[in-house]
Amino acid sequence: MNLQINGQNREYPSPLTIVQLLDQLDLAIERVVVELNREILTADKLADTQLTDGDTLELIQFVGGG
C-alpha cells in the first residue's frame, strides 16, 4: 500500500499498524506526535490503528529542551 509520510510517498506491505510503522522508522512512540489524515491521534490509539492504502501521515518527532 502507498502511504504519504511527511510529504513523501512510500510503499509498505499491509497489514501495518502505526506502532509497527514507528518501529520500522526507529521513532520512539512517546516522543512523536502522529497526525493521520489531518487528525491528531493520542499515543494510546497508535497500537490499534491499522493503516490503509492512501493514508497521509505527519510524524513529528520531539527532542528535549526548554
Partner 1 sequence: MQIFVNEQSCQAQTETSLYGLRDRHKPDADLLIVNGFPVSQDQPLKDGDRVTLIKRGERPSAAELEALMMARHTPGVHAKIKNSCIGIAGAGGLGSNIAIALARIGVGRLIIADFDLVEPSNLNRQQYFIDQIGLPKVEALRDNLIRINPGVQITSIQQKITPDNLLAHFSAVNVMVEAFDAADQKAMLISHFLRSCPQTPLVAASGMAGYEASNSISTRKVAKNLYLCGDGTTAAQQGRGLMAPRVGIAAHHQANAVLRLLLGEEPE
- Which residues of this protein are in contact with partner 1, per CB under 8 A? 30-35, 38-43, 58, 60-66
> Looking at this protein, which amino acid is placed at residue 14?
S
Task: Residue 14: name the closest of 30, 25, 3 by CA.
Answer: 3
- Residue nearer to partner 1 on the CB measure, 14 or 23: 23
- CA dist 59 to 12, 30, 37, 52, Å? 16, 12, 11, 16
Q: How far is the CB of 59 from partner 1 (least distance, A)?
A: 10
- Residue nearer to partner 1 on the CB measure, 6 or 14: 6
- Residue nearer to partner 1 on the CB measure, 13 or 63: 63
